[in-house]
Structure 1
Amino acid sequence: MQDLLSELTLVTVTFNSAEVLEAHIASLRETATAAMPRWIVVDNASTDATDAIAAANSDCVEMLKSDKNLGFGAACNLGIHASKTRYVMVLNPDTQLSEAAIDQLLAELKARGAAIAGPALEPEEDKSIIDAPWLVGAVLLFDTQLMNPVGYFDERFFLYEEDKDVCKCANDAGLKVIHCRNVSIPHVGGASTVRTRTVNEFIHFHKGRSYVLYAKKHGLGSENIDRYIQKNKKRMLIALFSFGVNRYARAKAKIKGVRSVSEA
């Protein structure tokens, strides 16, 4: 396969992701047969060993350090704007890369004139390539020549829905967004940050908040927001009777996130 790595920049966003970052970097180092691409690690003020891991791999990655947690989309934007190549791939640090998969995804993007491409994040029997309304943000490949006029991540979304939003904006601008099920880049999922109770409540707060931001931005109607609130109130009630402490906390955090937008 033709080497395409030199044509793109990789952007990995981290937040206390030391547990998975070393394997993430090693997955490409161990499969690359050509020169490594430029690889930017945008770190959201981690307090774990993320800095040390990046420093130990400074021959192939460079750290772009924020002094606060900007959220996923804003950190992606930093990396995209720091890149100089036409093609940029944004990544979660709990994905497993290979030279062959990256080359193939870029080849499919170019062949179809797409603005955004995403791979299969787990094994799939269906190897088709389809136009997609949205893709999971764990791996997104952008053609910046097409996307620059549209823009990238809306930084009001701290976590969640930013991937759906950027894909919708591309589709609304008449650009192609493709899901390449014939390309596999495995995603562990939920492993990029250690999950404590506080972290879980923070995550579900932003799930609720981002749901409302997306609904308002794209005119989904107040009835959908009301239905979302009622669904989570029902979850809280069921959790009370079943002693589901964690389930109750997650649903409560989502409603708090909704109200942080609705009452603003």
Structure 2
Amino acid sequence: MPNSSVTIITVSYNSMAVLPAMLKSVPKGTPVVVVDNASSDAGALKALTDEYGAILHLNTNNVGFGPACNQGAAKAQTEFLLFLNPDAELQAGALEALIQAAKTYPDVSGFNPRILDQNGNQSFKRGSKIKPKERWKGALPTADAVVSVLAGSAIFCRRAVFEEIGGFDPAIFMYHEDDDLSLRLREHGPLMYCHDAKVVHLSGHGSPRLPAVAAFKAYYSARSRAYALGKYGHPRPKLATLVAAVFRAIGPDTLFIKRRRAKNIGYLKGALSAFKDGGRNPS
């Protein structure tokens, strides 16, 4: 059933292989905003969003994931926001369960649904590289539970709180923006895992799985890690990122697996770049 109290925001980058299934999973009448980061298939994307009645915001260049989420949120007028990856699909009753959780736990600032992979296995984010000492210990939760960090593939929150904290940090192009948002949301209330809300996430399929795309993502992953570690007081954020990048680059998969080689080299280039400017969003 439609829900006019939630706006779903998704960011696309050549995501036509997965976006139709995501939009199909959304209950009809639920507001959706698709923010596109300069994909090569804008015509097909426009036809798709028209078919599902979604708002489409076309960027002329790739502004990054977090900044694009902020653009989408700025178009929302509903009480709640759900930031949903284009390679994720809502399962029946997911929105209703998240809304009910927000009513049951009014002090909670942000929620994750139960995130499953395509085989039905639960994917659960136990901790953050920004705050490595704060980790979920023990078995996967089987009921609603307070968590230390939210996974970025499906973040549900109140629009008022999101706006109060200033949204996603625009200095983070992509990766670790969910950790940073989680930590800032947490200043306004606990974070929670909602067991009854289910989302299937085809992790890593939001964009084509090509070596060049892997290198692009890894480059910004390293830059974002250096910036985020520094933001949260790590004594040597750029050095820590560079050391991690070197170990990845000299691993055996760099020699034998083409896509992994591109990814590891991209990460090393990103770490070296962050050494010069700290890893902030180049825009």
TM tier, smaller: 0.7 to 0.9
- Written as runs of structure 1 = structure 2, the 5 A alignment for 1:221-240 is 221-222=235-236, 225-239=238-252
> Which of 34, 39, 43 is equivalent to 2:36?
43
> Which of 132, 135, 138 is equivalent to 2:153?
138
Give the Cα separation in 1 of the matches to 2:19 and 2:254: 40
Give the Cα separation in 2 of the matches to 1:230 and 1:26: 43
CA change 1:239–1:248 in 2 (3 A) is farther
Q: How many residues align?
A: 253
Structure richer in helix, relative to its length: 1
2:245 is equivalent to residue 250 of structure 1 = no
1:74 maps to which residue?
67
2:134 maps to which residue?
none
> Which of 77, 91, 97 is equivalent to 2:84?
91
Give the Cα separation in 2 of the matches to 1:4 and 1:23: 17
2:158 is equivalent to residue 165 of structure 1 = no
SS at 1:186's partner residue?
strand
Residue 237 (structure 1) shift: 2.5
Residue 11 (structure 1) shift: 1.1
Give the Cα separation in 1 of the matches to 2:235 and 2:208: 35
- Written as runs of structure 1 = structure 2, the 5 A alignment for 1:1-264 is 5-28=3-26, 32=27, 36-48=29-41, 49-57=44-52, 60-113=53-106, 114-122=108-116, 123-124=121-122, 126-171=141-186, 173-222=187-236, 225-239=238-252, 243-264=256-277
Residues 44, 75 of structure 1: 8 Å contact kept: yes
Farther off after superposition, 139-148 or 209-218: 139-148
Residue 254 (structure 1) shift: 1.3
Residues 19-77 of structure 1 deviation map (CA, whole Å, 9 limit, x = unaligned): 1111111122xxx4xx61211111112112322322332xx312111111111111110
Give the Cα separation in 2 of the matches to 1:193 and 1:243: 23
Q: Gaps spanning 5+ residues in structure 1: where?
A: none
Residue 240 (structure 1) shift: 8.3
Q: TM-score, normalised to structure 2's length?
A: 0.82
Farther off after superposition, 10-19 or 228-237: 228-237
Q: What code does the residue aligned with 2:6 have?
A: L
CA change 1:71–1:240 in 2 (3 A) is closer
Q: What code does the residue aligned with 2:211 have?
A: R
Residues 87, 144 of structure 1: 8 Å contact kept: yes
Give the Cα separation in 1 of the matches to 2:59 and 2:253: 40
Residues 222, 274 of structure 2: 8 Å contact kept: no
Q: Gaps spanning 5+ residues in structure 2: where?
A: 123-139, 278-283
Farther off after superposition, 213-222 or 238-247: 238-247
Between the two proteins, what is the percent identity of the paired residues?
Answer: 25
Give the Cα separation in 1 of the matches to 2:235 and 2:161: 30
Q: What code does the residue aligned with 1:260 have?
A: S
Give the Cα separation in 2 of the matches to 1:44 and 1:105: 28
